[in-house]
Structure 1
Amino acid sequence: MKMGWNKWRETIFKTSLVLISVLLFLFFDGREFWLTQIQPQLTHVISNKKAEVDNPPVAPEQRFKKPSLARLTNSDTCDHQANLRRFGRCKSKPKAGIKYRVENGIYTWVDEKGITNYSDKKPDSSALSYQPKRNQVIDFFELNISGTHITNQFKNVLSTKLNAVFRGYTSIVGLDAMQKVTLTIKVLPNRREYEQAVRSYGGDPKGSVGIYFGRHNLALVEQRSQYATMQTAVHEAVHAINQAVIGYTPRWLNEGLAGYFQTIKVNMQVGTVYPNSARLDSGYIKGNILPPYDLLNAESDWKSYNTDLMYKSSWAAIHFLMSTAKGRQSLKALMLYEQIERCRSLNHQESSKLLAEHFPNLHDRFLLFVQSPVEPHRL
């Protein structure tokens, strides 16, 4: 009887260690959890331990293999996709709020029955406003930016750029597909404080100068030159737009859009996206580059490729698609299809099929694109 109690006490002790280990792992990993989420696993462990006490094995046997240190170490800390999966907040069905506009004190909106309504009162407290100007959205981005060296001029320029980016998205997918984006950007004054801030949210700052935490609607940016800081802020804001408007996306699409729009300039409310000069040589794309279909097929092996090659190829693919009517239609099809299942990114077969349907001669046109000077795009 005493021997049986000792075995049960040992079982309870081991089970407690398992429970504490699971709780500590989830805590330090920064995940939200409930006890009911781990209850089935604990029940399974207790059942197994009880079976071992009642029916001890004849010979010891290794049931589980401990993960090697190499598999636990995340060497690719610049992977926004991994960060979005870990720190993002997927919503399978975005909130479908009424969109209204105001002209001369009169609110106009279309209800769920498709009927246009007019009133001197706002339609709903949760309704989202838009103010069309030449069919462009100018009031769909709520931005809060702070930093020791961030001036009002910097804030105004960044806000103007992001409004232009949002108009660019609207020109691709249409107003009905857009969602309002709320984003806080914190610019840290030096590398040390940037790294501390990233780690405080559970991220790894290695190899990055900016990171987006979708769960908190927050982007952290390292202060460098004003030009570099501005580009990084726009880049991270585009990741926020992608998550709000599209949902989860393939790496090439997410990074390609962020790399494409980060070089935007605005003059008299007109946005122009300029080619990334770091990717060019005398106006032409320099060095090796993956054509679109090869880029799509490399999605699952992204980490095994040279990081610069993947970012450059992703940027080139988006700049190419935005260069022609067929390309923009293809991009629209991809983005709208992504909205259908926002918590799952398209695989390379699905993406390739959509591109082939909307842009049959894509490969040949891309070869011509890389052999020609890369031109800026007016949004």
Structure 2
Amino acid sequence: MKHDNPRLKYRLIPLLLVILVFIGWFTGGGERQPTALPSSQTPQVTSLKKVGSNTPVKSQDNAKAIQDEPASKVCNLDWLFDYQKRAAAQLANGLGDDFSVFKTQINQAINLTLYHQGTIGDQFVAKLVNQLAVVHNYYLSMLGDGAAQAIDVNIIVLGDRAAYEDSASQSGFDPRMSQGVFFHGSNSAFVEYKGDDITLRTAIHEAVHAINLKLLGRIPRWLNEGLAETFERIALDQPHGGFHEAHTALEQRPMELYSVISSETQWGSIDTGYLYFSGWIWVHYLLNNEHTQALKLLLSQEQIQMCHMLNAEQITQILEEAHPTIEQDFNQWRVNKVAQMEEATH
């Protein structure tokens, strides 16, 4: 993509308002996998083709979508998902002719659309599809039929740093400290290509945000980022699966559980890297702890009322009732994991 693409700039302008609205609305690994994971199904793959034209979204559609938000107490986000489809189509229509698109359905649920500029090959695509299938299996294991619904995942891989910064900044985001970003308004992610391994992790991370939005709605940022950080570390190359984890990371002491749960207003005001780390290690522990259903119960409660986040007190109650000794057990788990990994490296 050219670094100065007038067609993309003008077509992205109508998206800026809705992105700002949605940002305001949505912001206010172990050595084994969980048991009884549903087996992934072979995806149906379509061949590469050039991006075609789509009906553009007009700026007044944004206002109408917001006005059409249901006023009933029962949360219904269909108005948002309908708008996202139109916004994603407009975004795709603004991409240059040098983009190709790969489409497939994963587990009869995830509708993956991957745009790229020829920097990725078949091996990357296969790994992305396989890892997203495993990610979705985790959600199925926790949410059951609640995860068996259509989920659109749109990923745009930019060929170099300049192209990524240009495209992300045109959508109203400061990309200088990132290599990937997910926009709620268009349900689309921009990812910088930095070699297959790093790009794959970033693509999975941003895809998890799309999955969370569709299945869970509005959730706390520590949980949203914690799930994304955890699932980007899926280790399909290990004999028994699981997640990549380094004992050097586990050696760092994270924030206490209640501090993490209460951190919603702190993102951007304190060490964001420490918040990412703390969210990751707590979600990683909850996901891989065979003695608790705490994370499953938490996600199930978040799914019940998708328009509103559970507050810190509600989340604490859910986790502590499901796992009364959660803090003590977590601390012991972390110490044991570090000792095991240090022993394995000697």
Report the TM-score, using the length of structure 1 for normalisation. 0.61
Q: 1:327-353 deviations in whole A, cap 9, x for unaligned?
A: 3x1111111111122122121111101
2:76 maps to 93
* 1:82/1:263 CA distance change after superposition, 3 Å: farther
* 1:195/1:262 CA distance change after superposition, 3 Å: same
1:359 maps to 323
Paired residues of 2:26 and 2:219 also in contact (CA < 8 A): no
2:114 maps to 145
Deviation at 1:300, TM superposition (A): 2.5
**1:273 and 2:237 matched:** no
Whole-angstrom CA distance in 2 between matches of 1:81 and 1:201:
12
Aligned amino acid, residue 17 of structure 2? R
Paired residues of 2:18 and 2:185 also in contact (CA < 8 A): no
Paired residues of 2:27 and 2:220 also in contact (CA < 8 A): no
2:314 maps to 350
1:180 maps to 150
| Alignment RMSD | 3.3
* 1:202/1:300 CA distance change after superposition, 3 Å: closer
**Aligned residues: percent identity?**
29
* 1:147/1:172 CA distance change after superposition, 3 Å: same
Secondary structure of the corresponding residue to residue 146 of structure 1: strand
Paired residues of 1:326 and 1:358 also in contact (CA < 8 A): no
Deviation at 1:239, TM superposition (A): 0.5
Alignment partner of 1:248 out of 207, 218, 221: 218
Q: 1:347-373 deviations in whole A, cap 9, x for unaligned?
A: 111110111111111111011022111
Secondary structure of the corresponding residue to residue 367 of structure 1: helix
Secondary structure of the corresponding residue to residue 373 of structure 1: helix
* 1:147/1:83 CA distance change after superposition, 3 Å: farther
Deviation at 1:203, TM superposition (A): 2.3
* 1:288/1:325 CA distance change after superposition, 3 Å: closer
Aligned amino acid, residue 221 of structure 1? V
1:235 maps to 205
Deviation at 1:153, TM superposition (A): 2.0
2:278 maps to 313
Secondary structure of the corresponding residue to residue 174 of structure 1: helix
Bigger strand share:
1
Whole-angstrom CA distance in 2 between matches of 1:271 and 1:199:
41
Paired residues of 2:146 and 2:215 also in contact (CA < 8 A): no
Q: 1:2-57 deviations in whole A, cap 9, x for unaligned?
A: xxxxxxxxxxxxxxxxxxxxxxxxx7882259xxxxxxxxxxxxxxxxxxxxxxxx
User: Structure 1 regions of 5+ residues with no counterpart?
Assistant: 1-26, 34-73, 75-79, 96-129, 131-136
Whole-angstrom CA distance in 2 between matches of 1:32 and 1:373:
44
Paired residues of 1:295 and 1:313 also in contact (CA < 8 A): yes
Deviation at 1:296, TM superposition (A): 1.0
Deviation at 1:305, TM superposition (A): 2.6
Whole-angstrom CA distance in 2 between matches of 1:354 and 1:233:
31
Q: In the TM superposition, what are the counterparts of 1:320-335 in structure 2 within 5 Å?
A: 320-327=285-292, 329-335=293-299
2:173 maps to 203
Task: Work out the number of aligned pairs and report it.
Answer: 259
Q: In the TM superposition, what are the counterparts of 1:104-183 in structure 2 within 5 Å?
A: 138-148=107-117, 149-183=119-153
Q: In the TM superposition, what are the counterparts of 1:53-64 in structure 2 within 5 Å?
A: none
Higher mean alpha-carbon deviation, 173-182 vs 202-211, is at 173-182
Structure number with greater CO (CA < 8 Å, separation at least 6) is: 2
Q: 1:250-274 deviations in whole A, cap 9, x for unaligned?
A: 1111010000000113369x98231
User: Structure 2 regions of 5+ residues with no counterpart?
Assistant: 1-12, 29-61, 79-104, 342-346
Deviation at 1:304, TM superposition (A): 3.0
Secondary structure of the corresponding residue to residue 236 of structure 2: strand
Whole-angstrom CA distance in 2 between matches of 1:265 and 1:299:
29
Aligned amino acid, residue 281 of structure 2? A
Whole-angstrom CA distance in 1 between matches of 2:145 and 2:265:
32
Q: In the TM superposition, what are the counterparts of 1:13-92 in structure 2 within 5 Å?
A: 30-32=16-18, 84-85=26-27, 92=75
Report the TM-score, using the length of structure 2 for normalisation. 0.67
Higher mean alpha-carbon deviation, 202-211 vs 362-371, is at 202-211
Deviation at 1:94, TM superposition (A): 5.4
Deviation at 1:291, TM superposition (A): 2.5
Paired residues of 1:235 and 1:259 also in contact (CA < 8 A): yes
Whole-angstrom CA distance in 2 between matches of 1:199 and 1:298:
27
1:10 maps to none
